[in-house]
A and B are shown apart, each in its own frame.
Chain A
Amino acid sequence: MFPSWNPSQPEISDLIVQYDAKSLARLSVSKAEILRVFEGFSNKKAVRVIEKIPTLDGLFDANAVDRLMLTVHWEMQRLAEEFYHGNRVLRILRATIDSLRVKGFSGPIRIVDVGCGIGYTIRWLAAYTNLPAEKIELTGVDLNATLVNEADRLARAESLPCSFFHGDAFSSDLAGQIYISTGVIHHFRGDDLAAFFRRHDSEGTQAFIHFDFQPWALAPFGSWFFHVIRMRTALARHDGVLSAARAHTAQTLVSAARAGVLNLVTGIYGAKIWNTPAPRVFHALVGFRPNLVKYVKAGLGGLLGELQ
């Protein structure tokens, strides 16, 4: 295995920007400390990326880091566009919303995109669907203030009916009925993954749909090739490939979710292409209130795996 593909290590973008989870204050990050993390994994590629980020008195220059993160997230949006991610999310969301309505949930439904980044999925849904007219509130939440501000700016520039918040997606003021995410859950490892799912376990939660890379033998190679061709920044290339290597298996996700969220039935959605053995790049861990399952299944057919 290449050192930069070692799934035990964090991604560069996890470390160069840090926020206090409670106060949401931006924390200063020492370049030397982060370099040591990747030197510990003999990951020269990551070290080269980090060395190029400007510093002020040994700490990362926050503006330079923000510019880099924006560049990377603009670039990542291209992947979502090429994978038609908006359409994919819409399909399962549509079935989930319809099932909620059939079961008599007539009030507003808030969809929360957890770790929304620059909010592509939510902005796409706001731009191309009628969801806001159906009393569906489209929101995105992220701990990174720069990315949330950018999501908000982009939404305003195109007058899109959606909103973005800097904060904790599961906090009482930002919580919703349906949680979604893309490429977020592999960032949680071990106990943190179980803790992440426990946060879903509230009275208001009706469903969650968390898309992430689907791990299989060729995924890191495919991801590497795709990133070499499509991505320009070294950080995006590094973290993109590492993300594919760090992706949790369906089994890990499902057991963590089943242990953490007791009042929802969970399973995997969209793992295979057209009922063939060929895996999709992304699969989704999904959870629904038990009374919705019959209707969601009717809406999604074979795409939905076994739910428990």
Chain B
Amino acid sequence: MTLLVLYLLASLDGALCGFRSSMGRYPYIHKIRFYAMAMLRGVLAAQIASCLSLFALFATVRASSDKALLRQDLEASAARMLLIFLPYAALVLLNLALRLVPSTDLRSGTSVVFLGPLTFLRPFVMIAGVLFGIWHAQLRATILLGLFVLVLMLSLEFALNIYNARIQERRIRLLV
């Protein structure tokens, strides 16, 4: 269950990374389809990260001499990570939900006061979440696996940004 929640959070993070990294790169007025595709790309990138993580997890379990202890250690670490990730995700979702309120000031306020700073905090929250999760881990395998997943998730927005920047550059070169 804990791993499933982490997987869902990673997919949500991927969607939002896809959205953010595509913003400011498509100057049309109607762009729901563009953003939908960008978010799908983000979700897909998160699936790749999740698959790599799952592969690493299986490999670790396979190589472990005490599979029961490893499983228990991994679950305890993942549960601790959720203590950091869930409130952060809830804050993000709450601010996105506030954008449904038909008030121009409130909508733009969520960007300036909350979503902007929350975006800024994202890498720090990820590092804090993983470190908090693996801090009390008993096995080195759990620590390494946690760090591996951290690197993957931190690379997500970076990779999407590079991808979207290339597309944007190509579009602009067609114009000038």
Which residues on A are within 8 Å of B, measured CB to CB? Answer: 63, 66-67, 70-71, 73-78, 81-84, 87-88, 91, 118, 120, 123-124, 127-128, 146, 150, 153-154, 157-158, 160, 222, 225-226, 228-232, 273-274, 280-281
* With known contacts A74-B168, A84-B107, A127-B30, A146–B24 Cβ distance under 8 A: no
Interface size class of B (residues with CB under 8 A): 20 to 34
- Would you give 5 A-B contacts (Cβ < 8 Å), ordered by A? A75-B24, A84-B107, A229-B119, A230-B116, A232-B165
The reply to whether A67 and B172 form a contact with Cβ atoms under 8 Å apart is: yes
Are A82 and B120 in contact, with the CB atoms below 8 A? no
B66 within 8 A of A: no
User: Which residues in chain B, 9-53, are within 8 Å of chain A measured between CB atoms?
Assistant: 23-30
Chain A residues with CB under 8 Å of B27's CB are: 73-74, 77, 118, 120, 150, 154
Tell me if A74 and B28 are in contact (CB < 8 A): no
| Inter-chain contact B173/A280, CB cutoff 8 Å | no
Q: CB within 8 A of B173: which of A67, A73, A84, A232?
A: A67
Q: In the complex, A77 Cα to B173 Cα: how many Å?
A: 19
A102 and B27 alpha carbons, distance in the complex (Å): 36
Bound Cα distance A259, B23 (Å): 41
A-contacting residues, B130-176, CB 8 Å: 161, 165, 168, 172-173, 175-176
> Does B111 have its Cβ within 8 Å of any Cβ on chain A?
yes
State whether A83 and B108 are in contact (beta carbons under 8 Å apart), knowing that A78-B23, A226-B116 are contacts in the complex.
Answer: yes
Question: How many Å from the CB of A287 to the closest CB on chain B?
Answer: 23
B112 lies within 8 A of chain A by Cβ: yes
CA distance in complex: A280, B105 (Å): 8
Residues on the A chain within 8 Å of B165, using CB: 232
Q: How long is the Cα–Cα vector from A231 to B176 in the complex, in angstroms?
A: 22
Q: Which residue of chain A has the shortest Cβ distance to B108 in the bound complex?
A: A83
Whether B176 contacts A66 by the Cβ 8 Å rule is yes
In the complex, whether B104 has a CB less than 8 A from a CB of chain A is: yes
The 8 closest A-B pairs by CB, nearest first: A78-B24, A75-B24, A127-B29, A66-B176, A82-B111, A84-B104, A74-B27, A83-B108
A9 to chain B, nearest CB (A): 25
Q: With a CB–CB cut-off of 8 A, which chain B residues contact A128?
A: 29
Out of A70, A154, A232, name the residue touching B28 (CB < 8 Å).
A154
- In the bound complex, CA of A123 to CA of B27 (Å): 10
Is A83's CB under 8 angstroms from B28's CB? no
Contact partners of B30 in chain A: CB under 8 A = 127, 158
Given contacts A154-B27, A232-B24, 4 further A-B contacts (CB under 8 A): A67-B175, A74-B168, A118-B27, A226-B116
A74-B25, A127-B29 given as contacts; is B111 within 8 A of A83 (CB)? Answer: yes
Contacts of B23 in A (CB 8 A): 78, 81, 230
Residues of A within 8 A of B161 (CB): 232
Q: Name the A residues within 8 Å of B105 (CB-CB).
A: 273-274, 280
**Cβ contacts B99-122/A at 8 Å (1 or 0 each):** 000001101110110001101100
Cα-based distance from A164 to B116 in the complex (angstroms): 33
A74 contact from B26, B119, B120, B173, Cβ within 8 A: B26
Shortest C-beta distance, B33 to chain A (Å), equals: 12
A273, B113: Cα distance in complex, Å: 14
Contact B29 A158 (CB under 8 A): yes
Complexed CA–CA distance, A154 and B171 (Å)? 13
Tell whether, in the assembled complex, residue B175 and residue A63 are in contact, meaning their CB atoms are under 8 Å apart.
no
How far in angstroms is the closest Cβ of chain A from B165? 8
Q: Please give me the residue from chain B that is nearest to A123 by CB atom.
A: B29
Given the complex, which residues of A lie within 8 Å of B116, measured CB to CB?
225-226, 229-230
**Do B108 and A82 have beta carbons less than 8 Å apart?**
yes
Cα distance A31–B104 when bound, in Å?
42
Minimum CB–CB distance from B100 to chain A (whole Å) comes to 13
User: Which one, B29, B108, B119, B176, contacts A146 given CB within 8 A?
Assistant: B176
Residues of chain B with a CB closer than 8 A to A160's CB: 29
Q: Which residue of A lies closest to B109 (CB)?
A: A273
CA distance A249 to B74 in the complex (A): 58
Residues of B within 8 A of A222 (CB): 112
Chain A nearest CB, measured from B79 CB (Å): 31
Pair B112/A150 contact, Cβ less than 8 Å: no
Contacts of B175 in A (CB 8 A): 67, 70, 150, 153
Residues of A within 8 A of B108 (CB): 82-84, 281
Residues of B within 8 A of A87 (CB): 104
Chain A residues with Cβ under 8 A from B117's Cβ?
Answer: 225, 229
Measured CA separation A63–B173 after assembly (Å): 9
Rounded to whole angstroms, the CA-CA distance of A229 and B24 in the bound complex is 12
